[in-house]
Amino acid sequence: MKRLSNKNILLFAMIVMLVLLLTACTKKELPKETVSSEVTTPPAEVVEDFVLIAELSPTDKYLSPILCGVKVYGKNKDNYGNYTEIKFVFKDKEWISDELKIFPRMELRREDEHRMYLPTLENRDFISVIYGEKDSEDTIRENIIFFDWQTFMQIKPEELNILIVHKQSTDVVVSDDKSYTVTVAEKSKNDRDIFDEKKNIMKYNYGEVNVFALRKDKMGNYYDLYARIKNTGKNIKIPDRKQYEYGGPRASLLDLNGDGNDELVLVFWERNPEGVLTQSVCFMDIKAEKEVSLSDLGLEDIVEVTYQKEKRTIAHEDRVYKEYDVVACHHKRKEDYNKDNLKTIPTEEIKRISGDIDLALSLLTDPILFITEKKRPDIFVLQYGEKIELYHDWSMPMPFPKYNNGKEEITYENSVQMGLIDLDNDGIKEIVITMWVGKGTGYSATDLHIIDSTTMEEIVTLTNDDIAILISSYIDAKIVTKEEQVIINICVNNDSDNTYTHTVKRNENITYFETPSFTQSVGFTIDETNNKVTVGAGMMIAAPWYAGSFNADITVVDGKVQLTNIHFSFD
């Protein structure tokens, strides 16, 4: 056999490669051209923007389509042509989901409803959007999604007490000359008995927080509980808690860890088959809508939790009181309050004198004790320059409501006054604080605190009763009742030249006192300009009849309060 030269071998190889290439090109089919009225979406890896699927107008004729339209966008498609990433836009709010699938060839519909199914969302509208998802080549499944009207956040059907039932429809959907069978979604009440017998078991702070129960067990415990937070519009599911039908739960909005965000604190009592009530506490993160623990709040090393067997009396129907054995839960700080750990305890400044005088009064607002002890500690923190002192037994001042952009705020600006007055004339000014602490019909109480500014020790606290006793040590007063007149005789410091006589017309329907009363209305004035503190007390001669007032200056001599410049004024 004659062997081929290298040149011939190379030529033969090139011819073979050319034949194979032509054969492959002949067998490859060209893609068929597709025509569709639908807006097509490129492959997912190159998609940048959402595609507008539909713009939904409200079904309620009283709502403006311009202001209240919902736009639905989608991007990325699956094998059936469903958009797999969805964005809803309502006014200035957006809601995005990568769990929904929407088939754009089926018409989307919007519904607006108000209090139709709502067991816990009373007085609130919601929006429902009906859409289709293609789940096979020729079948579309209809679904419904719900949104809160105010926040445009998704609401789960069970929170609305709505049950979604899918049924095979006899109708078909025709799109691009192709027919699809449809499984329709129908709404119904999840449980008529639960809905009709829903129970508002607790209202806190004029409806700021409401706790609703949907069910009740054989022990008389409500469960399936929801807390509605009014100012956020949220309805939060409370997990694994029950509340005995009598006694009621307790709710509070407290910033437990001082991070600036309130937690919802709920205290429940659950009755067991033996009739014993067990207390439990639930901390809810309002923003995340989930339960959190003391550890989550960073308080596990600060708060001590103990359980104790006690007795509890609960009012039943028709004011019938019954006593229960209870296992009570107590929360308190592991470390007592003192000047050294004030930085770890929240305080609320209620009064400050700025400028050259560094004087500030704060209220210790530690919320820990409020969890199960039902109270905040009435502890005041007074700072004067570098000095700090705590006062445990002062009465709380009455707060005044203040409105900021329509929102009510609590302020002590008008009920607490402070100043520096030299009351004992020794050249060193005392710290003087007045607090308006109570009111009622014909009643007003103010406390006066006098504090040594050098040692920060309190010299004296004067209440209404203290002032009345002090006044009686300076005056001798009598009320004489005659047929047509009532005569008030007052002598000051047993001085016959310092007497007062006042006559009023007698009212036969009134019983007059034998001596005037000065306990009902007391007030103090701090006058730093003239370096004095004055006291005024209403002079009551019958209930509720004021005939004038007592007035005097307050001084301190050898650590004791004295009254000077005493005088009366009559109405």
- What is the C-alpha R_g of the chain? 39
Q: What is the model's pLDDT at position 309?
A: 96
pLDDT digits (tens, 9 = 90+) for 172-230: 777 767 888 889 898 877 654 444 456 777 877 767 888 888 788 889 999 888 888 87
Instruction: Give the per-residue pLDDT at 65.
Output: 57
CA angle, 14 as apex, 12 and 15 as ends, to 5°? 65
The model's pLDDT over 251-289, given as tens digits with 9 standing for 90+, comes to: 988 889 888 888 999 999 999 999 999 999 999 998 888
For tokens 């090109």, what's the residue? Answer: 25
Q: Which residues of 281-309 are buried (b: 16+ CB within 10 A; e: fewer)?
A: bbbbbbeebebbebeebebeebbeeeeee
SS3 string, 506-541, reads: CCCCCCEEEEEECCCEEEEEEECCCCEEEEEEEEEE
311 and 206 assigned to the same domain = yes
| Euclidean distance between CA atoms 389 and 107, whole angstroms | 71
Total structural domains within the chain:
4
Question: For the segment 420-468, what is each residue's pLDDT rounded down to a tens digit?
Answer: 999 999 999 999 999 999 888 888 999 999 999 999 999 999 999 999 9
**Do 322 and 428 reside in the same domain of the chain?**
no
Report yes or no on 9 lying in a domain.
Answer: no
Does residue 280 share a domain with residue 359?
A: no
Residues 212 and 350 in one domain: no
* pTM above threshold 0.95: no
Q: Exposed, middle or buried: residue 251 (CB in 10 Å: 0-12, 13-18, 19+)?
A: buried
Side-chain half-sphere CA neighbours of 174 within 13 A: 2
Give tens-digit pLDDT for 80-93.
999 999 999 998 89
Q: Among the three residues 130, 160, 192, which one is the final residue of a domain in this structure? A: 192
Residue 279 located in a structural domain: yes
Question: Starting from the edge strand earliest in sequence, which strands make up the sheet with 475-481, in order?
Answer: 475-481, 485-492, 499-505
DSSP state of 331: E
Same domain, 171 and 104: yes
Q: In the beta sheet, which residues pair with residue 330?
A: 306
Closest CA to 524 of 435, 457, 456: 435
Does any domain span residue 404?
A: no
| pLDDT of amino acid 418 | 95
- Give the angle 385-389-394 at the CA atoms, nearest 5°: 125
- Does some domain include residue 437? yes
> What pLDDT, on the 0 to 100 scale, is given for residue 37?
35
- Based on the fold, state whether residues 233 and 84 are members of the same structural domain: no
Q: What rounded mean pLDDT belongs to the chain? A: 83
pLDDT top residue among 78 and 409: 78
Confidence band (pLDDT; 50, 70, 90) for 121?
low
Separation of alpha carbons 253 and 265, rounded Å: 6
The tokens for 29 are: 């089919």
Chain center to CA of 430: 40
For 544, residues 6+ apart whose C-beta sits below 8 A from its C-beta are 441, 442, 520
Q: Sign of torsion, CA 116 120 123 128?
A: negative
- For 212, the domain range is 198-333
Q: Count the Cβ atoms, other than its own, within 10 Å of residue 221.
A: 20
Indicate whether 220 and 298 sit together in one domain: yes
Are 326 and 279 spatial neighbours (Cβ–Cβ below 8 Å)? yes
Residue at 448 is within a domain: yes
415 with 551, same domain: the answer is: yes
- Take residue 150 and report the two structure tokens written for it: 């105010």
Q: Are residues 346 and 434 in the same domain?
A: no
In degrees, to the nearest 5, what angle opens at C-alpha 554 toward C-alphas 553 and 555? 120
d(CA 309, CA 325): 7
In a domain, 4, yes or no: no
Answer whether residue 231 is part of any domain: yes
Q: Using pLDDT thresholds of 50, 70 and 90, give the confidence band for residue 15.
A: very low
> Do the strands 321-333 and 277-285 form a parallel or antiparallel pair, or are they unpaired?
parallel
Q: Tell me the mean pLDDT in the region 548-566.
A: 95
Q: What is the DSSP string of 387-452?
A: EEEEE-SPPPPPPEEEEETTEEEEE-TTTEEEEEE-SSSSSSPEEEEEEEEEEETTEEEEEEEEE-
Nearest alpha carbon to residue 566 among 544, 528, 536: 536
| pLDDT given for residue 562 in this prediction | 96
* Domain shared by 419 and 385, yes or no: no
Of 551 and 319, the structure prediction assigns the larger pLDDT to: 551
> Residue 404: is its pLDDT beyond 80?
no
Predicted confidence (pLDDT) per residue in 345-387, tens digit: 778 889 998 777 889 999 888 888 889 887 777 789 999 999 9
Q: Which residue has the higher pLDDT, 105 or 29?
A: 105
Q: Residues 83, 87, 91, CA angle at the centre, nearest 5°?
A: 150
Q: Would 213 be classed as within a structural domain? A: yes
User: Which of 192, 216, 244 is where one domain is finished?
Assistant: 192
CB 363 within 8 A of CB 394: no
Question: CA 403 to CA 30: how far, in whole Å?
Answer: 74
What are the tokens at 212? 């609703």
pLDDT at 401 over 60: yes
Residue 64 and residue 133 share a domain: yes
- 73, amino acid identity: Y
Q: Judge if the upstream peptide bond of residue 544 is cis by omega within 30 degrees of 0.
A: yes
Structure-model confidence comparison of residues 481 and 121, the more confident one: 481
CA 289, 291, 296, 297 torsion: positive or negative? positive
Query: What's the angle, vertex CA 209, arms to CA 206 and CA 210, rounded to 5?
Result: 95
Share above pLDDT 70 across residues of the chain, in percent, rounded to a whole number: 85
Concatenating the DSSP letter of every residue in 204-221 gives: ETTTTEEEEEEEE-TTSE
Question: Same domain for 328 and 351?
Answer: no
Cα dist from 212 to 66, 153, 232, 242, 243, whole Å:
36, 20, 16, 11, 11
Q: Which residues contact 143 (CB under 8 A, 6 or more apart)?
A: 100, 130, 131, 132, 133, 164, 185
What is residue 375's predicted lDDT score, i.e. its pLDDT? Answer: 73
